[in-house]
């Protein structure tokens, strides 16, 4: 099959776009070159979209109605620009979840249009299989991401929602979806099966995210990222478009890889995160604990006492967690660090891979507050340094510093690598209240003799520390 000159040109544009995307990703491997990578990918994107439009309108005549396209592109670009420029960094997990929802929606709808217009019977085996997978994954990503968004925003309870037979019924639905796609291969014109596949995808998105607790959001967001990519790749197979297959594979694999890293950082398997309904077990435990006498009381200190500890410190490691994001305390952290540094104190930051609600959440927040990224350290790099550190300042982190992960075999987080904040000479913990954290697990760190709890809003407390140290 020989392509016309115009077709060749468009295909070469797609090839160039694919290469630019891969080069862009490579540049993202280093903070120094990352922005150049974004630029490369932008050029690739513009080339691919412009090529498609010019070719579709001017040469092949496949695109005959441009008013809808122009309208949708303009509105979409305006909304995208607004979201891109004005969403606060603390809302980044929500924005990422929403963007997966949009991605799933776009891909799912394209699949439905393909089926509507090219009729089942006229589709090849490859096209119908790919379209079925595309619609199922797209629908699942759409509703699943909306669920994740709702959980992050607090519209939906962050606690795992479980019921009897949950995993079995979900498995049955997944099997049913795959079975119906199989049926479509043999009876491509069975439209009912196609729409049942789409509906099952919509339902599965809701049901699969329902039992996953808020603290497991990093893994879920990665997985939804992966599904969005795989759905795009399926579209590429259905349309015979390589650049879609390539981007889908990159996106799908990236999400999968990040998800694996997150699971590993929690010492749990993928399936345990997805089907383990984390947090359900501790709820039972909490009931028994309510009846039993409480353990040793936590050592609650005043702002002044904690400020004195900080004043005497020569080295501080800050351990940020989701609480820092909730209280938007990143700038207050930076201000305190500035004052400490003027006193000659060394300030570093220890970032746990699953701190926050998505991979890299804490890094972005601290970057926003102008913390130089060479002051941020990964768990494996900094963990041995805690024992030689005067103060570990825990800002809204809980599970990632819970020593039960090291010692208590019955703890649901046993075996998870944690930051050794308890090894510091003094551990100052900023926490809203003495209630158990999101996962409902007791934290032994809070009752250790070298721990001082300072209760209240983290941002307010940090500002008070800064004021006290300036005196």
Partner 1 sequence: MSLTLIFGLYVFFLAAFTGYQVISKVPHLLHTPLMAFTNAISGISLVGSLLAAGGHYGGLSTVLGAVAVLAASINVVGGFLITDRMLRMFKKKGGAR
Nearer to partner 1, 56 or 176 (CB): 56
Q: Hey, what are 85's tokens?
A: 């420029």
Residue 36: CA count within 13 A, CB half-sphere: 8
Measured CA to CA in angstroms, residue 375 lies from 22, 316, 349, 365 at distances of 29, 12, 6, 13
Per-residue buried b or exposed e for 218-233, using 16+ beta carbons within 10 Å of the residue's own CB: bbbbbbbbbbbbbbbb
Is there a contact between 145 and 101 (Cβ–Cβ < 8 Å)? yes
Maximum distance among all Cα pairs of the chain, rounded to whole angstroms: 81
Instruction: Determine the interface stretch with partner 1 among 94-102, 209-217, 282-290, 438-446 (rule: CB under 8 A).
Output: 94-102
Residue 43 touches partner 1, criterion: CB under 8 A: no
- Look at residue 164 and give its three-state secondary structure: coil
CB 233, min distance to partner 1, A: 6
- Using CB under 8 A, which residues numbered 368 to 387 contact partner 1? 368, 370, 372-376, 378
What CA–CA distance (Å, rounded) separates 124 from 225?
28
- Using CB under 8 A, which residues numbered 255 to 284 contact partner 1? 255, 257-258
- Using CB under 8 A, which residues numbered 235 to 254 contact partner 1? 235-237, 239-254
Instruction: Determine the interface stretch with partner 1 among 104-112, 165-173, 291-299, 434-442 (rule: CB under 8 A).
Output: 104-112
Binder of partner 1 out of 3, 4, 58, 116 (CB under 8 A): 116
Residue 121 touches partner 1, criterion: CB under 8 A: no
The phi-psi region of residue 214 (left if phi > 0; otherwise alpha if psi is between -120 and 50; otherwise beta) is alpha
What CA–CA distance (Å, rounded) separates 285 from 439?
12
- Using CB under 8 A, which residues numbered 207 to 226 contact partner 1? 221-222, 225
- Residue labelled with tokens 């691919």: 48
Residue 28 touches partner 1, criterion: CB under 8 A: yes
What CA–CA distance (Å, rounded) separates 82 from 76?
10
Nearer to partner 1, 101 or 439 (CB): 101
Nearer to partner 1, 383 or 464 (CB): 383
Residue 407: CA count within 13 A, CB half-sphere: 9
Residue 349 touches partner 1, criterion: CB under 8 A: no
Is there a contact between 43 and 60 (Cβ–Cβ < 8 Å)? no
Binder of partner 1 out of 7, 9, 11, 53 (CB under 8 A): 53
Is there a contact between 469 and 339 (Cβ–Cβ < 8 Å)? yes
- Using CB under 8 A, which residues numbered 171 to 210 contact partner 1? none
Instruction: Determine the interface stretch with partner 1 among 31-39, 185-193, 201-209, 409-417 (rule: CB under 8 A).
Output: 31-39
Q: Would residue 30 show up in a list of annotated catalytic residues for this protein?
A: no
Nearer to partner 1, 144 or 248 (CB): 248
CB 212, min distance to partner 1, A: 18
Binder of partner 1 out of 3, 4, 12, 72 (CB under 8 A): 72
Instruction: Determine the interface stretch with partner 1 among 82-90, 201-209, 298-306, 435-443 (rule: CB under 8 A).
Output: 82-90
Q: Hey, what are 323's tokens?
A: 């609480």
| Residues carrying an active site annotation | 399
């Amino acid at each position: 099959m020989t392509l016309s000159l115009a077709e060749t040109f468009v295909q070469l544009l797609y090839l160039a776009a694919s290469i630019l995307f891969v080069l862009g990703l490579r540049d993202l491997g280093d903070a120094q070159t990352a922005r150049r990578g974004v630029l490369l990918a932008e050029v690739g994107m513009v080339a691919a979209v412009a090529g498609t439009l010019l070719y579709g309108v001017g040469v092949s005549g496949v695109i005959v109605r441009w008013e809808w396209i122009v309208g949708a592109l303009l509105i979409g670009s305006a909304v995208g620009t607004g979201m891109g420029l004005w969403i606060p960094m603390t809302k980044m997990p929500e924005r990422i979840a929403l963007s997966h929802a949009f991605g799933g929606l776009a891909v799912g709808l394209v699949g439905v249009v393909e089926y509507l217009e090219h009729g089942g019977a006229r589709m090849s085996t490859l096209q119908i299989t790919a379209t079925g997978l595309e619609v199922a994954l797209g629908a699942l990503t759409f509703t699943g991401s909306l669920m994740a968004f709702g959980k992050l925003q607090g519209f939906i309870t962050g606690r795992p929602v479980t019921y009897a037979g949950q995993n079995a019924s979900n498995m049955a639905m997944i099997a049913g979806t795959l079975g119906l796609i199989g049926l479509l291969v043999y009876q491509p014109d069975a439209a009912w099966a196609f729409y049942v596949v789409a509906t099952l995808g919509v339902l599965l998105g809701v049901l699969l995210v329902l039992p996953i607790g808020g603290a497991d959001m990093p893994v879920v967001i990665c997985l939804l990222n992966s599904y969005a990519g795989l759905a795009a790749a399926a579209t590429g197979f259905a349309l015979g478009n390589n650049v879609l297959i390539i981007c889908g594979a990159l996106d799908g694999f990236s999400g999968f890889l990040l998800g694996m890293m997150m699971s590993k950082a929690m010492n749990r398997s993928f399936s345990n995160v997805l089907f383990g309904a984390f947090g359900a077990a501790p709820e039972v435990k909490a009931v028994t604990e309510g009846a039993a006498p409480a353990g040793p009381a936590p050592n609650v200190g005043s702002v002044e006492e904690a400020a004195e500890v900080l004043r005497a410190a020569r080295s501080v490691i800050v351990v940020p967690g989701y609480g820092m994001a909730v209280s938007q305390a990143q700038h207050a952290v930076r201000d305190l660090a500035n004052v400490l540094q003027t006193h000659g104190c060394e300030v570093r930051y220890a970032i746990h891979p699953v701190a926050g609600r998505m991979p890299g959440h804490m890094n972005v927040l601290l970057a926003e507050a102008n913390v130089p990224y060479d002051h941020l350290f990964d768990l494996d790099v900094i963990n041995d340094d805690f024992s030689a550190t005067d103060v570990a300042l825990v800002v809204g982190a809980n599970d990632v510093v819970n020593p039960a992960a090291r010692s208590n075999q019955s703890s649901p987080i046993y075996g998870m690598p944690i930051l050794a904040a308890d090894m510091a000479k003094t551990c100052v913990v900023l926490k809203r209240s003495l209630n158990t954290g999101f996962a409902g697990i007791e934290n032994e760190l809070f009752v250790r003799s070298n721990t001082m709890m300072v209760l209240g809003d983290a941002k307010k407390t940090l500002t008070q520390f800064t004021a006290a140290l300036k005196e």
